[in-house]
Amino acid sequence: MRNVIKSSLEHASGNVLSFVGVVILDIIFVLLLFTSSAIIFQNVAENVIGISTLFQEYNSEITEELNAAQDIRSILSNLPNFTEYYYGLIKWIIFWFVSVYVLFGVFKGLAWGLAAKAVKKTSLFNYWFRFLRVSILWIFLTFLFFVLSIRLSMRNTGSFIPTLEQNAVSIIISILFIVMVYFALLSFGFIQKNGVLSSLRKSFVQGVKKYRYFVPRIFLVFVLLGIGIALLVLIIQIYVLAGLLFGFVVMLPLMHLLRIITLVVVQND
């Protein structure tokens, strides 16, 4: 483990231009992500408020029809403007995931490419194109987890009555997401020397077969990132400007180092 950290620090400090480029890419990514998310979720909120208002206005009618064993889908579809709000909500959520993929693929792909180049001589654009393709799977799985979290919180009939405690749903989805991130990080390492399909296959096969090697080292990445985020949140709560300074001075270099650690771990396999 110490050798991994030592080697990663050497790679990170050995190419200042790559580090500067990665920091710029991360800053642009964060700014664009927050801006686009703010615009999109404003539209999401409008549709959610519209549905909520309908439920409040027609609460008694919905309750009576449910007591009469009416199908919840037909009840909701008969509410005025419900279908418009519902499909509007779905449309904006899908649009958000697409925007996340584009921003993640472009800016994070280049950041990972520069990190990969710092670890071992490689073509930046070949890595980037592979990253764009392999990220489709991980963004799609994230979307499926989002849908699953909603489904687990509802009855099979499609009503809005919870069947599982929200905490239980959150724990289940969080575990699935962490497992997915584990395999995703491995794939980002494998694409440096392999094609997309080969990298995905290796990330699953090697990730399971050699879990005793990979899990502790990837867990180190999770721990360092978790500590960094916890400190960032704590400092922001105390003083916002100090939190922003911490983000620039500590978190951005840490993100670059964690990418390099991941790449070194996979390369040393």
> Would you say residue 67 has pLDDT above 60?
no
Statement: residue 111 has pLDDT above 90: yes
Of 71-80, 154-163, 172-181, 257-266, the least confident: 154-163
Tokens of 195: 């094609």
Taking residues 79-89, report their average pLDDT. 81
* CB count in 10 Å sphere of residue 135: 23
pLDDT for 48: 86
Q: How confident is the model at residue 110 (pLDDT cuts 50, 70, 90)?
A: very high
268, 4 in Cβ contact below 8 A?
yes
**How large is the average pLDDT for residues 65-94?**
72
**Segment 195-245, tens digit of pLDDT:** 999 999 999 999 999 999 999 999 999 999 999 999 999 999 999 899 889
- Confidence label for 74 from pLDDT (cuts 50, 70 and 90): low
Q: Averaged over 122-149, what is the pLDDT?
A: 91
Residue 99 domain boundaries: 2-267
Secondary structure, 3-state, 169-211: HHHHHHHHHHHHHHHHHHHHHHCCCCCHHHHHHHHHHHHHHCH
Our count of domains for the chain comes to: 1
The predicted pLDDT at position 172 comes to: 83
The single residue listed with the structure tokens 């579809």 is 77
- Pairwise CA distance, residues 215 & 209, whole Å: 11
Which residue type does 209 have? K
Euclidean distance between CA atoms 226 and 140, whole angstroms: 24
Instruction: Determine the 3-state secondary structure of 78 from DSSP.
Output: coil
Task: Tell me which residue has tokens 């009855």.
Answer: 155
The strand ranges marked E within 19-146 are: none
Give the residue, 76 or 228, on which the prediction is more confident.
228
- Where on the phi/psi map is residue 72: left (φ > 0), alpha (ψ -120 to 50), or beta? alpha
Residue 201 burial (C-beta neighbours within 10 Å; 0-12, 13-18, 19+)? middle
pLDDT surpasses 60 at 70: no
Q: How confident is the model at residue 157 (pLDDT cuts 50, 70, 90)?
A: very low
Asked if 118 and 87 count as a contact pair (C-beta separation under 8 A), the reply is no
Residue 20: predicted pLDDT: 87
Cβ pair 104, 137 in contact under 8 A: no
Asked if 130 contacts 195 with a C-beta cutoff of 8 angstroms, the reply is: yes
R_g of the chain, CA atoms, integer Å = 22
